[in-house]
Chains A and B, each alone.
Chain A
Amino acid sequence: GAVVSQHPSRVICKSGTSVKIECRSLDFQATTMFWYRQFPKKSLMLMATSNEGSKATYEQGVEKDKFLINHASLTLSTLTVTSAHPEDSSFYICSARAGTGGSYEQYFGPGTRLTVT
């Protein structure tokens, strides 16, 4: 149980185009989803937290107009990198949490490698 899928696993796009990444909880309802970014040899950095049906909360330094997050249902959140530039090339990974309280356990997708040329 507690499987999270992420699509695509790898994408190459041209500078100036937009890319959408999907994160799905396959066997549970995710009230909260998180989007992380990882640069080479660095730790996972939280970009934003999204709760179903409400606007995402972005971490300091993350441009909300650049990284559009939608969490329209309890099983799907999307991250759209708009007008991508080479510096947006990175590894993006989502996680999902079933509810609040307890140990706040989150379940991860396998990640998306984005390369902007």
Chain B
Amino acid sequence: ILNVEQSPQSLHVQEGDSTNFTCSFPSSNFYALHWYRWETAKSPEALFVMTLNGDEKKKGRISATLNTKEGYSYLYIKGSQPEDSATYLCASLSGTYKYIFGTGTRLKVLA
């Protein structure tokens, strides 16, 4: 059974602070790593799809890195804003082509 772990489970940051959180996944039989942003009562929104070791992706103030050899990905948010408040999910896709999700990191940005 594959396990995807995310940490921390939740965090509160002040507006303007930068923050980061971690997604750990089994490195064997790795295919892709997805990051999603999920606001309450809305659909999870795809942020990044990462496949290659060393990948770095950026979308505005949000960026992500990938290490497939050691099985982790970091998501960074620079200059957090209240609208960044959401749950950030990662999902690992292996050779079975099924997603295994982490439990998410709940971010609250305080104005």
Q: Which residues of A contact B (CB under 8 A)?
A: 4, 9, 34, 36, 41-46, 49, 93, 103-111
Q: What is the total number of residues of chain B having a CB less than 8 Å from a CB of chain A?
A: 23
Given known A103-B32, A105-B34, A105-B49, contact A4–B101 (CB-CB < 8 A)? no
Chain B nearest CB, measured from A9 CB (Å):
7
Whether B49 and A110, one on each chain, are in contact in the complex, defined by CB atoms closer than 8 angstroms, is no
**Interface-side segment among B36-44, B62-70, B77-85:** B36-44
CB<8 Å pairs between A and B, sample of 30: A4-B43, A9-B41, A34-B99, A41-B103, A42-B103, A43-B4, A43-B100, A43-B102, A43-B103, A44-B91, A44-B99, A44-B101, A45-B101, A46-B98, A46-B99, A93-B44, A103-B32, A103-B34, A103-B49, A103-B51, A104-B31, A104-B93, A104-B97, A105-B46, A105-B49, A107-B46, A108-B36, A108-B44, A109-B43, A111-B43
The interface residues of chain B lying within 8 Å CB-to-CB of A4 are 43
How far, in whole Å, are A111 and B44 apart by their CA atoms in the complex? 9
The residues of B that contact A44 with a CB separation of less than 8 Å are: 89, 91, 99, 101
Q: Are A43 and B104 in contact (CB under 8 A)?
A: yes
The B48-96 residues at the A interface (CB cut-off 8 A) are 49, 51, 89, 91, 93
What is the distance, in angstroms, from A3's C-beta to the closest C-beta of chain B? 8
CB distance from A49 to the nearest CB of B (A): 8
**What CA separation (Å) do A106 and B43 show in the bound complex?**
11
Which B residue sits closest to A57, measured CB to CB?
A: B98
Q: How far is the CA of A109 from the CA of B100 in the complex (A)?
A: 17
Closest residue of chain B to A6 (Cβ to Cβ) is B43
How long is the Cα–Cα vector from A109 to B51 in the complex, in angstroms? 24
